[in-house]
Structure 1
């Protein structure tokens, strides 16, 4: 059983480094840092580190550790919420002695010495909490806050279809711990004035096809006009989904050397399309990367066909 094997590995190593995916979201931070807090709380003698690029939007959840290369020697590496190796934030993960993968995305890239991948889980934070229960670990208030935040983020406040009775059961247990849920929600869903204005721009310039495909292009000029970074556009990904008649939508974000695609759906399966464009993810929530804006029309045409066949 993977969970039993993971716990045995955690107990066997003195040094543990925990990673997650690039361009993090609340579940990436929640599962990564929640696991760190659980291990420290139950094995205080262990040295546990979290690494990866920082996102100022998620500073309220946790801060990353500054880890020198030598720490990875003879260390257990755990990669949370990351479907493929290319998306692991801090590629030094490969320098660890043993690598564990804990994830809820489709397992197209089966990396790691030990893997626990459960696509039926709402989030990797849910899996980390399930791991702690199977190990009979004690949960701290801080760990509960991180895991609850991760679950809330990846379920869209329990609205997404991935939310199950198990998800609600675990959330009910986590809210019995002492942390400020009001503060957590405020920080996760606050909107800056710049983002609010960008949302207005998106709604004024949205395209909707007959098949229900909606899309908008956010060029570097637009991002500069509204003083929003590419990473911050994660806050607007749900805007197009609120439009009546839209069944799938894409936001194309121009970056320095590529076009980032934020792709979502209310039913049609989209992760296979994302995989064609250096991406992937969940059936209804994925990401992709285009080489340039000239590829947008072809991408939308393919998405149209998927929605027409739905």
Structure 2
């Protein structure tokens, strides 16, 4: 499949790269890292990255704004996105052909070409592997290495999560041979505004955990206003309680307009099945879901409790 994707890339003069909504470092890293690789490898091609910009990730790069007409006879590549509903910018289907590159469970096998590797720590790791598979055709430079490294760091939690494999570390080692500023990446990626730090303190003082190690907390609209944070800012705090002794799995519920977003994390129990029951999905130990009302929270918490038991 990697060879097929390389061949189809060579065919097109225009390539448009998408990723998922509410992007994280891996979404940006894989999307823009692939773009940097293709720009260096095929300087005559037109390469674009699209989607809604995320201010906290502007240190990695800026997205492009393009007209609908650019999609005519273009190749579209979607990175780090499990299903079509989460692809940022609905024009992804307007191109001539569609490629999916992803590391999430392949529940929605979209695209004319689909390369899914659930053993990879991140989509950025997959892009790095793609480049290293074809060294005579694809060029890795400092710009691409910086982006791909940031994506790997983000999805592995600075190499602390269990999705970090020997291959992950080998690819990261190859990327850091380029002289980009790793300290800057860590600083920008993990710096937290003061109001979010204060909300973090509230979470630490008010989360609930059962004897079985199932924990949760609900951040409603009033709390978001009290601490002057956005729902996205609050979502970044999902791992604040991961070091609590005895915790097995937890859910951070956040009111976000008419819906409630649920961010699930685990140290053992498989939680993506639970996320799928609530209009979500993801990895076995890190998933997300969407609740339609507060009435679903106790039900979901009870199911998490059963998993931890």
- TM-score range relative to shorter protein: over 0.9
Deviations 1:87-118 (A, max 9, x none): 00111101111010000000010000000000
CA distance in 2, matches of 1:103, 1:238: 23
Q: Helix, strand or coil for the counterpart of 2:155?
A: helix
Matches within 5 A, 1:186-205: 186-205=187-206
Q: How many residues align?
A: 307
C-alpha displacement of 1:233: 2.0
C-alpha displacement of 1:275: 0.6
TM score, norm. by length of structure 1: 0.98
Matches within 5 A, 1:270-285: 270-285=271-286
C-alpha displacement of 1:129: 0.7
Q: Helix, strand or coil for the counterpart of 2:295?
A: helix
C-alpha displacement of 1:249: 0.4
Matches within 5 A, 1:59-208: 59-136=58-135, 137-208=138-209
CA distance in 1, matches of 2:207, 2:303: 18
C-alpha displacement of 1:277: 0.7
Structure 1: tracts of 5 or more residues without a match: none
Runs of at least 4 residues off by over 4 Å: none
C-alpha displacement of 1:55: 1.0
Kindly indicate whether the alpha-carbon contact (under 8 Å) linking 1:15 and 1:76 is maintained by their aligned counterparts in 2.
Answer: yes
CA distance in 1, matches of 2:234, 2:57: 14
Deviations 1:48-80 (A, max 9, x none): 110111111101001110011111111100000
Kindly indicate whether the alpha-carbon contact (under 8 Å) linking 2:38 and 2:139 is maintained by their aligned counterparts in 1.
Answer: no
Could you say which residue in structure 1 is the equivalent of 2:264?
263
CA distance in 2, matches of 1:22, 1:233: 17
CA distance in 1, matches of 2:151, 2:183: 15
C-alpha displacement of 1:20: 0.5
CA distance in 2, matches of 1:217, 1:234: 11
CA distance in 2, matches of 1:23, 1:108: 20
CA distance in 2, matches of 1:88, 1:138: 27
Deviations 1:8-34 (A, max 9, x none): 111100111100111111000000000
CA distance in 2, matches of 1:257, 1:73: 36
Could you say which residue in structure 2 is the equivalent of 1:249?
250
CA distance in 2, matches of 1:233, 1:26: 16
C-alpha displacement of 1:157: 0.5
Kindly indicate whether the alpha-carbon contact (under 8 Å) linking 1:54 and 1:64 is maintained by their aligned counterparts in 2.
Answer: yes
CA RMSD of aligned residues (A): 0.7
Q: Helix, strand or coil for the counterpart of 2:242?
A: helix
C-alpha displacement of 1:176: 0.6
Matched, 1:44 2:43: yes
CA distance in 1, matches of 2:225, 2:3: 49
C-alpha displacement of 1:268: 0.3
Q: Helix, strand or coil for the counterpart of 1:139?
A: coil
Kindly indicate whether the alpha-carbon contact (under 8 Å) linking 1:215 and 1:240 is maintained by their aligned counterparts in 2.
Answer: no
Could you say which residue in structure 2 is the equivalent of 1:12?
11
Deviations 1:219-276 (A, max 9, x none): 0111111111111123201012121111000000001110000100000000011011
Deviations 1:99-150 (A, max 9, x none): 1000000001000000000000010000001111112122110100000000
CA distance in 1, matches of 2:16, 2:61: 15
CA distance in 1, matches of 2:198, 2:29: 29
CA distance in 2, matches of 1:132, 1:221: 47
Could you say which residue in structure 2 is the equivalent of 1:302?
303
Q: Helix, strand or coil for the counterpart of 1:299?
A: helix
